[in-house]
A and B are shown apart, each in its own frame.
Chain A
Amino acid sequence: MTQVYYEDIAEGTEIPALVKYPTTMQLVKYAGASGDFYQIHYDKDFAQANGLPGVIVHGWLTLSFLGQMVTDWLGEKGRLLKLNGSYRGMNKVHEDIICNGKVIKKYEEDGKNLARVEIWAENPLGEKTVTGTAIVALPFKA
């Protein structure tokens, strides 16, 4: 994959989208790896008894997908400095999660070449389920 440099980006630059398709099995694996065993993420009866449409994806897992999108884009030489996400809607299992990002500010600070990237995840209806920001440092070509 080609390295992205500070000179390559501008406000409005979109970063390559990433699409994920989580299954209940993945949610069980995530529960095991993270220690988050809240049953809404793998027990359909429990989820429905809690007023949810069914098993829902951990917000942290969707944020992990957004994190992957950003670190894939950053390559070897870029660095992720901050990552945040607000869990606004629910992603259901066996549905695409579409991860997107766009540079909204490019600036230099403390000798570093930084960018603020707006990030968001959508469900197949186009609803934004997680919205957030990543602050990244990018290498300089010269």
Chain B
Amino acid sequence: MAGESVITEELNSLLNVEFGPEVYEIEKGMLKRFAEAIDDPNPKWLEEAPPTFAAALVPHELLHKLFNIDIPLKRLLNGSSDLEYLQPIKAGDVISVTSKLTRLRQVPGAEGPTLFMFTEMTYTNQRGEVVIKGKNTYIKY
């Protein structure tokens, strides 16, 4: 057995609840700053979002809850990211981000239990088109 469950009722109650939308206006300066931060000199990224720009469109409401919830595991790591591109994100777009926690999984580890939190995000533009479908796994240990 994995020992005592770290998955509290409060954490469970977040499952499959949709958070957002949180709205981001995509300004040219934001794209430029992001491209500089990832050290990618491709001039295309002055007008269009580079592939991992979704990382900057943070679903704060859900993540704040997941990262600060009162469970015995305090340390956090990013486990994996998965992005599907349906439309480009361009300067001037207004992107709405919705998010949900889809699954919780506790596994025993060398230093105690590890908790995997699986999330899904949908990024939609001002025309109602889904531009990116994202998944991210966070690890608490």
User: Which A positions have Cβ atoms within 8 angstroms of B?
Assistant: 20, 22, 26, 29-30, 32-36, 38, 50-51, 58-61, 63-65, 67-68, 70-72, 79-87, 132
Closest beta carbon of chain B to A23's beta carbon, Å: 10
Is B42 a contact partner of A71 (Cβ separation < 8 A)? Answer: yes
Is A20 a contact partner of B51 (Cβ separation < 8 A)? Answer: no
Question: A79 CA to B44 CA in the complex, in Å?
Answer: 13
Contact stretch, chosen from B2-10, B11-19, B82-90, B94-102: B82-90
Is A83 a contact partner of B37 (Cβ separation < 8 A)? Answer: no
What 1/0 mask marks residues of chain B from 35 to 50 whose CB sits below 8 Å from any chain A CB?
A: 0111110101000001
User: Which B positions have Cβ atoms within 8 angstroms of A?
Assistant: 30, 33-34, 36-40, 42, 44, 50-52, 55-56, 58, 75-85, 135
7 contacts between A and B (CB under 8 A): A26-B37, A29-B33, A51-B75, A71-B51, A81-B84, A83-B83, A87-B80
Closest beta carbon of chain A to B81's beta carbon, Å: 6
Q: Which of A29, A64, A80 contacts B85 (CB 8 A)?
A: A80
